[in-house]
Amino acid sequence: MVAVLVGCLLALAGILPPLLLNVSVPASEQTVAHMIQVSWRLAHHQLFTEFAIPRIVGFMITVCAWLVVLQFSWRQQRMGYVHRVCAIALLFNVAGLGLSLLAQLPATSPAAFWLLRFYWFRLADVMLPLALAMGICPLVTYLCHANRLAGVAVVCIIGMVTLADGVRKNVELLADGRPGADRQSLPTYLKDRKRTGETQR
């Protein structure tokens, strides 16, 4: 618990740069800058309503898979800790979803865009796959003891999913030869060339 608190205190330092950027900047300019950052420049990271549908579907499937493995591993002390942190991360996602919907309202407060700058969805991007990967081991162990064929089937499914994800990444690489980090931070909008140019500029 102490390590978590220390980690949180260290992470707070990451809030300082965006706060310092606002020093001596008029409030009206800050509001416009926040709206541009959230709804235009980095919408694919910070605004839920701009997320790609396949990625949302993939995320929901991962959540469902995590809920399944959770039944077999949450009672273990070490795994229970990981799952609790994952659950908290998902609550941050819910908060980000609420802020995203609030930002779409015609008379929304500038505070919604200000808050969305802090990447509400990123913690779950790390914790959910981690909790799922660690929770699969107790599930496979349980299935192997109960029914070896079922355990082998789960391992095969995991292998097929991993292979399919590798194929997907290679297809994306062929379609857009830029490195993966560039594809994520500077996405291409096929239906909006102007936005693509502004985002990648």
Residue 145: φ, ψ to 5°: -75, -40
Q: Determine the pLDDT at residue 88.
A: 92
Q: Do 132 and 66 contact (CB within 8 A), yes or no?
A: yes
**What six digits make up the tokens of 148?**
């070896």
Question: How confident is the model over 70-97, as pLDDT tens digits?
Answer: 887 777 767 788 888 899 999 999 999 9
Distance CA(124)–CA(82), nearest Å, equals: 12
Distance CA(82)–CA(80), nearest Å, equals: 5
Q: Determine the pLDDT at residue 90.
A: 95
Mean pLDDT of 133-158: 79
Asked if residue 116 has pLDDT above 70, the reply is yes
Mean pLDDT of 101-117: 83
Give the torsion sign (CA, 49, 51, 56, 62).
Answer: negative
Instruction: Say how many CA atoms lie within 13 Å of 77 toward its Cβ.
Output: 0
Nearest to 176 by CA among 186, 165, 166: 186
Distance CA(52)–CA(190), nearest Å, equals: 12
Q: Determine the pLDDT at residue 89.
A: 93
Domain ranges of the chain: 32-133, 147-201
Residue type, 4: V
Mean pLDDT of 191-199: 65
Q: Tokens 């008029």 appear where?
A: 26
Q: Determine the pLDDT at residue 140.
A: 79
Name the packing angle between helices 122-146 and 53-73 (round to 10°).
Answer: 50
Residue 30: φ, ψ to 5°: -60, -45
**Percent of the chain predicted with pLDDT > 70:** 84
Q: Tokens 């995203």 appear where?
A: 100
Asked if residue 200 has pLDDT above 70, the reply is no
Q: Determine the pLDDT at residue 197.
A: 64
Alpha helices in 53-185 (DSSP H): 53-73, 77-103, 110-116, 122-146, 148-175, 180-185
Question: How confident is the model over 160-190, as pLDDT tens digits?
Answer: 877 887 787 777 777 776 766 666 666 666 5
